[in-house]
């Protein structure tokens, strides 16, 4: 217990052996803030973002993520998530595909372009040819969610080399300048650059974000940071709930403010929203 005292005396200064024993036996679990601090303690010991989940596959991580917890993390968003009636959608019938494996890749990219133009300033827009080249690349995650053969949404992210990620977030490089050589392979450290998201229902949004977080958990050992660039207030709220922090801002010629957000994998996964999301299935009650 002395090690926990030294790590975080504010949270563990009054910890006794009886309470610690109940935590270990899953009779009760610590309050969320203590859970976050415990994970950060084990991060220091192991050098791993989520030590207990470091060997999970994407499918195993998906099984560990609570749908209700993910819904709370996403929150209400009327810009990126439309109000398609969710009561007619069955979660177990929602399917996630990587866009490069979908026969509808061209149609979905055309849909994305319409939304992309609406949500992005002209200076940060990307051509459909670039989107397709990136979607076909094996190291990027271009997820689409389908229900009975109909697409309900998508989530696109790029796996970039850290130095390229830095240039983008420092506005030293434009997104349309990214080349194939800028992508990081899975045998080297990379970053996750969030590119596009849209869903016509809350349930499909939850499913897409569960897959994305499962991807982060399964690849936590070779992802350094997560980040993105936006001019949209709703996207900034997403970033805050994901524990991303404002990194830099710039103004375009017409006065539009564009901001970059980033966070290391340790603080993205060891945050209160994520702990609620991945530990909510535990049956033992939280301590009072």
* Residue 76: per-residue pLDDT: 78
Residue that the structure tokens 């052996």 belong to: 17
Per-residue model confidence as pLDDT tens digits over 99-131: 998 888 998 898 888 888 888 888 888 999 999
The pTM assigned to this predicted structure is 0.90
pLDDT more than 70, % of the chain: 96
All residues at 6 or more sequence positions from 283 whose CB lies less than 8 Å from its CB, including other chains:
26
Q: Is the pLDDT assigned to residue 58 strictly greater than 90?
A: yes
- Residue 77's pLDDT is 75
Q: Residue 282's pLDDT is what?
A: 54
Supply the pLDDT for residue 11. Answer: 82
Highest mean pLDDT among 1-10, 11-20, 34-43: 34-43
Produce one character per residue of 69-100: b if its CB has 16 or more CB atoms within 10 Å, e if not. bbbebbeebeebbbebeeeebeeeebebbbbe
Largest CA distance in the chain: 62
Pick from 76-90, 165-179, 232-246, 273-287: least confident: 273-287
Token pair of 105 as six digits: 């890749």
pLDDT in tens, 172-201: 999 999 999 999 999 999 999 999 999 988
Q: Where does the pLDDT of residue 279 fall: very low under 50, low under 70, confident under 90, or very high at 90 and above?
A: low
Q: What angle do helix axes 67-74 and 272-279 make, rounded to 10 degrees?
A: 160
Ranges of each domain in the chain: 52-279
Higher pLDDT, 32 or 220: 220
pLDDT at 52: 84
Number of H helices, E strands in the chain: 13, 7
Q: Can you give the pLDDT at residue 288?
A: 64
Local confidence band at 30 (pLDDT 50, 70, 90 cut-offs)? confident
**pLDDT of the residue at 280:** 61
Q: Supply the mean pLDDT for the chain.
A: 89
Give the pLDDT score at 163.
98
> Is the pLDDT score of 78 beyond 90?
no
Q: Which CATH architecture has domain 52-279?
A: 3-Layer(aba) Sandwich (3.40)
Strand locations in 32-174, DSSP E? 94-98, 141-147, 150-160
């Amino acid at each position: 217990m002395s090690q926990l005292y030294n790590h975080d005396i504010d949270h563990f200064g009054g910890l006794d052996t009886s309470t610690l024993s109940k935590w270990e036996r899953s009779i009760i679990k610590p309050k969320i803030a203590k859970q976050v601090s415990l994970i950060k303690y084990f991060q220091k010991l192991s050098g791993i973002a989520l030590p207990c989940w470091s060997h999970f596959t994407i499918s195993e991580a998906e099984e560990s993520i609570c749908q209700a917890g993910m819904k709370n993390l996403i929150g209400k968003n009327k810009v990126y998530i439309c109000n398609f009636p969710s009561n007619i959608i069955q979660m177990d019938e929602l399917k996630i595909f990587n866009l490069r494996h979908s026969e509808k890749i061209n149609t979905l990219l055309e849909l994305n372009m319409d939304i992309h133009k609406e949500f992005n300033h002209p200076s940060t827009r990307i051509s459909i040819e670039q989107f397709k080249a990136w979607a076909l690349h094996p190291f990027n995650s271009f997820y689409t969610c389908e229900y009975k053969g109909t697409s309900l949404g998508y989530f696109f992210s790029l796996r970039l080399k850290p130095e390229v990620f830095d240039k983008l977030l420092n506005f030293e490089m434009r997104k349309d300048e990214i080349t194939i050589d800028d992508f990081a392979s899975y045998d080297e450290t990379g970053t996750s650059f969030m590119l596009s998201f849209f869903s016509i229902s809350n349930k499909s949004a939850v499913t897409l974000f569960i897959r994305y977080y499962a991807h982060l958990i399964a690849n936590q050992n070779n992802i350094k940071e997560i980040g993105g660039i936006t001019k949209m207030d709703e996207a900034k709220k997403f970033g805050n709930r994901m524990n991303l922090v404002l990194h830099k801002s710039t103004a375009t010629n017409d006065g539009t403010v564009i901001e970059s957000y980033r966070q290391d994998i340790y603080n993205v996964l060891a945050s209160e929203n994520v702990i609620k999301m991945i530990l909510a299935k535990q049956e033992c009650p939280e301590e009072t």
